[in-house]
Chain A
Amino acid sequence: METQTQSPLVQMRGISKTFASVRANSKIDFDVFPGEVHTLLGENGAGKSTLMNVLNGLYKPDSGTISVKGQPSRFSSPRDAIAAGIGMVHQHFMLVPVLTVWENMIMGLPGLEAVLPRKEVVEKIRALSERYGLRVEPEARVWQLSVGEQQRVEILKMLYRQAEILVLDEPTSVLTPQEVRHLFDTIRQMTAEGHGVVFISHKLDEVMEISDRITILRKGEVVETLLGRTATREELAEKMVGRKVVFAVDKAVLNAGETVLEAEGICALNDRGLPAVRNLGLSIREGEILGIAGIAGNGQRELCEALSGLRPVQFGRVLLLGKDMTGARPMEFVKAGVSYIPADRKGTGLVGAMNLRENFTLKNFWRKPYAKGIFLSWENVAGETGRIVERYGVSTPGLGVPVKNLSGGNQQRLMLGRELSGTPRLIVAMQPTWGLDVGATEFVREQLLRQRDRGAAVLLVSEDLEEVMALSDRLAVIHKGEIMGVVEDPRAATEEDLGLMMAGIRRNEPSTGSVPR
């Protein structure tokens, strides 16, 4: 399967790419040999997609070189890359749903005949399907296909264009387990035919199974390249996440009170209709922080939304202070004292074009004293917004400025201030320090601790393992929508322990849908 003696199909040397002030890729070397599966492993934001977008011609690197089969190449558009034999299957498919598979296959193909050569194309597709084991009905319309089948069409598109290197960007994130099996069979078939495959993922168990080589990226740089055959899960988890000094947080002694949130057997679907949260149970008491650690895409967002009423719960119950809130509307959750701090602050949590006062009002327009009957009291709003700005250190020229003009850190401070100033009973915080500088990060963590000391129940969802270990009183690990295990004393836990759980290995007994206290 892997032959290092041959020359590489593609060789990337010293690739660097910076966006605004973020170094997405930093002097990366990466190559792919014929017949191998070379995985790019890393967390969200590690730089995997950027590197591959450089390879497929979407981005131009700031520095570095790309050679295809020994020839130095420069791609000014995806078409050049495809012509050079590099085909990428994106996470979001580039298919036209109402057209048939065979029509999608040839759309935009250079040198296509005037009258669509339907029979020829269909035959060629069937031949490719046969050869690579990619079963797809050429006459079917794409909207009728399952996601797995659509992905096969995308792969076939690249093979149809005679791609020698196939880049698969997080291909399993949209697939069911059976479809993942099929995909892996296909990949093995492709490597047997001499293609080189780049597999981008952050899912350790899959990476272990399919890779010949694994290159781990962290913060835009290559950490190491390991052989798939000899790498261990623990090694991968550790290198992916990074060995950092655990940040010593001055935390008061836990003084937990009554149960604020009780979730039993929660099942929820993601936007595509696939199960995202499966039979999940947890409970949080007053004055405690329950952390949820896990690799992105394992149902965290869907869980947070289900617990704040923004996502329907298919099965299970959500109880808030004993009251059954399952199926209640978002406004009822808000009024019951649930504050949700979404990860997507610009898209969901704030209205960019509106100013600070109005954004405060976003979650308070129904509440006295900011609302007086049908009217809003901008005076009271301004007063409280001003207090928030001061207390939470929001750096802004004024309250009337559109929030999209503020930096990410200040936007987060504002949103935090809004959510926390209403003395919520339950705070659901998802990725609250993502993308923030050190000062803002420390501030947010401090605020969460303060809320905890005040007696709020806090659900902290974070991909930052160090953060979630330091802040949580109890720490649960989520994997594929289920809780893998709960650690009662996070400070006693090792990163290996957690890494294993994040990789899908349960701790001790299987979780029964409710968390043992």
Chain B
Amino acid sequence: MSAPFRVERRLDCPAWLNWAIPAGAVATALLAGALLLFFLGVSPGAAYKAMFKGALGDAWGVSETLVKAIPLTLAGLAVGLAFTMVVWNIGAEGQIVMGALAAVAVVRYAFVDSAPVMFVLMFLAAALSGGLWAGFAGYLKARWNVNETITTLMMNYIAILLAEYFIYGPWRDPSSLGFPMTAPFPDAARLPVFGSTRVHVGLVIAVLLAVLFRVLYRWTRWGFELRVIGNNPNAARYAGIDYMKNILLAMFVSGAVAGIAGMTEIAGLQGRIQPGFSGGYGFTAIIVAWLARLNPLATILVSFLLGALLVGGDTLQVVMRLPLASVQVLQGLILFCVLGGEFFRNYRIVRTGKGE
């Protein structure tokens, strides 16, 4: 007794699937989420409407979405770079933290009352800090083939705890009383914002870097080398491409961009660091990179959508008294659906007809 359907390997993947699968995944996830909410006695219609209104319903909502999209774009680009080489940088969260810490360090120990100077110093320090953090894992992989998934993952928590050490300890703002945090940044260290929104200049940096990455992948020699390594390491060797050098470099750049995300979050938005400031952006960025299929321009779009999701989550908390973490359910569902959907890139379901 044979099944009416058969699973068959595809020869190639039709182009329309490239956007159809992520789109379909999001739609399926939203549907599943709706069902879940329904069974919990929460009206899905009300919930989704509230989320939409909160995130995209008015100018303030959109600006808040953009605020969230900034670190997501930057971290998404960072993660995407590593993933292009099939190097699993799961450590964006930690690299964001290290970038932020570097920015705070610059303000504490190297403050100059000039906005441009502070910007440059913080930018470079954050990039270096994040870059070295990721580069260390890259070195271990290049030299001894140490599993980068684990090392970058572990270094996330080391970084977060390191930040806690500074926040509770030497960098604690004495006037912060019950809630430990560092002293607020002086004006010169803050990034300018647009109008009366909280959208800061980090947006420009994010978009610029996305364009830069697009140019990198498509038009530069290095981008080409990275893509070859990711596609076929044997062919890369044959072509004379240096594997070890490229892993190190790619991880460094990846960490650097994530570090910049951390810097812009602090200098642009929060103005000081407190426990949990990194907010899971490093992990959400993995969803961004996966949904965007590692495409830099798509990363901007997907970051915006996921930012809307996060702002929607904030709204749900205020309007419907749902815990903030609830939105992670949707994030998880989206990821499930994307992963499941990818199956259809490589395989298709064929009806077993008469000719079998």
Question: Is chain B in direct contact with chain A in the complex (CB below 8 A)?
Answer: yes
In the complex, whether A365 has a CB less than 8 A from a CB of chain B is yes
Judge whether B219 and A340 touch: CB under 8 Å. no
* Residues of chain B at interface, number, CB under 8 A: 19
Residue of A nearest to B223 (CB): A376
A334 to B236, CA, bound (A): 13
Give the secondary structure class of B's interface. Answer: helix
A147 to B227, CA, bound (A): 37
Residue of B nearest to A353 (CB): B231
In the complex, whether B58 has a CB less than 8 A from a CB of chain A is no
Judge whether B220 and A347 touch: CB under 8 Å. no
* Residues of chain A at interface, number, CB under 8 A: 30
In the complex, whether A124 has a CB less than 8 A from a CB of chain B is no
Residues from chain A with a CB closer than 8 A to the CB of B222 are 374
Judge whether B219 and A375 touch: CB under 8 Å. yes
Residues from chain A with a CB closer than 8 A to the CB of B221 are 365-366, 371, 374-376
Interface pick from A16-24, A253-261, A355-363, A443-451: A355-363
Judge whether B12 and A349 touch: CB under 8 Å. no
* Nearest chain B CB to A483 CB, angstrom units: 25
Judge whether A310 and B235 touch: CB under 8 Å. no
Judge whether A330 and B238 touch: CB under 8 Å. yes
* Nearest chain A CB to B331 CB, angstrom units: 29
Residues from chain B with a CB closer than 8 A to the CB of A358 are 224
* Nearest chain B CB to A268 CB, angstrom units: 16
Knowing A348-B235, A351-B231, the reply to whether A405 touches B12 (Cβ < 8 A) is: yes
In the complex, whether A316 has a CB less than 8 A from a CB of chain B is no
In the complex, whether A132 has a CB less than 8 A from a CB of chain B is no
In the complex, whether A196 has a CB less than 8 A from a CB of chain B is no
Residue of B nearest to A402 (CB): B12
Which listed residue (A333, A362, A371, A375) contacts B235, Cβ 8 A? Answer: A362
Q: Beta-carbon contacts of B289-320 to A below 8 Å, as 1s and 0s?
A: 00000000000000000000000000000000
Q: Beta-carbon contacts of A363-396 to B below 8 Å, as 1s and 0s?
A: 1011000010011101000000000000000000
In the complex, whether A350 has a CB less than 8 A from a CB of chain B is yes
Knowing A330-B240, A340-B238, A376-B219, the reply to whether A361 touches B224 (Cβ < 8 A) is: yes
Residues from chain A with a CB closer than 8 A to the CB of B239 are 330, 334, 362-363, 365
* Nearest chain A CB to B280 CB, angstrom units: 32
A353 to B242, CA, bound (A): 20
Residues from chain B with a CB closer than 8 A to the CB of A353 are 231-232
Judge whether B219 and A329 touch: CB under 8 Å. no
Judge whether A310 and B238 touch: CB under 8 Å. yes
Q: Beta-carbon contacts of A403-420 to B below 8 Å, as 1s and 0s?
A: 011000000000000000
A154 to B293, CA, bound (A): 44
List B residues 225-262 near A (Cβ within 8 Å). 225, 227-228, 231-232, 234-235, 237-240, 242
Residues from chain A with a CB closer than 8 A to the CB of B242 are 331
Knowing A376-B219, A376-B224, the reply to whether A351 touches B237 (Cβ < 8 A) is: no
In the complex, whether A136 has a CB less than 8 A from a CB of chain B is no
Residues from chain A with a CB closer than 8 A to the CB of B240 are 329-331, 333-334, 366
* Nearest chain B CB to A88 CB, angstrom units: 26
Judge whether A404 and B238 touch: CB under 8 Å. no
Residue of B nearest to A335 (CB): B240
List B residues 3-33 near A (Cβ within 8 Å). 11-12
Judge whether B237 and A354 touch: CB under 8 Å. no
In the complex, whether A64 has a CB less than 8 A from a CB of chain B is no
Residue of B nearest to A364 (CB): B239
Judge whether A365 and B224 touch: CB under 8 Å. yes
Knowing A329-B240, A330-B240, A363-B239, the reply to whether A348 touches B234 (Cβ < 8 A) is: yes
In the complex, whether A220 has a CB less than 8 A from a CB of chain B is no
In the complex, whether A352 has a CB less than 8 A from a CB of chain B is yes
Residue of A nearest to B216 (CB): A374
* Nearest chain A CB to B234 CB, angstrom units: 5
Residue of A nearest to B238 (CB): A348
In the complex, whether A342 has a CB less than 8 A from a CB of chain B is yes
Judge whether A347 and B234 touch: CB under 8 Å. yes
A469 to B227, CA, bound (A): 41
Residues from chain B with a CB closer than 8 A to the CB of A350 are 235
List A residues 311-361 near B (Cβ within 8 Å). 329-331, 333-334, 340, 342, 347-354, 358, 361
A349 to B238, CA, bound (A): 7
Q: Beta-carbon contacts of B200-232 to A below 8 Å, as 1s and 0s?
A: 000000000000000000011110110110011
A368 to B221, CA, bound (A): 12
Knowing A342-B238, A349-B238, A362-B239, the reply to whether A375 touches B231 (Cβ < 8 A) is: no
A310 to B224, CA, bound (A): 21
Residues from chain A with a CB closer than 8 A to the CB of B224 are 358, 361, 365, 376
Which A residues contact B (CB, under 8 angstroms)? 310, 329-331, 333-334, 340, 342, 347-354, 358, 361-363, 365-366, 371, 374-376, 378, 402, 404-405
14 A-B pairs (CB sep. < 8 Å): A331-B242, A334-B240, A340-B238, A348-B238, A349-B238, A351-B231, A351-B235, A353-B231, A354-B231, A363-B239, A376-B219, A376-B220, A378-B219, A402-B12
12 additional contacts, CB 8 Å, given A342-B238, A351-B231? Answer: A330-B239, A330-B240, A331-B240, A348-B234, A349-B235, A351-B232, A362-B235, A365-B221, A365-B224, A365-B225, A366-B240, A378-B219
9 smallest CB-CB distances across A and B, nearest first, come from: A331-B240, A330-B240, A351-B232, A362-B239, A348-B234, A351-B231, A351-B235, A348-B238, A365-B221
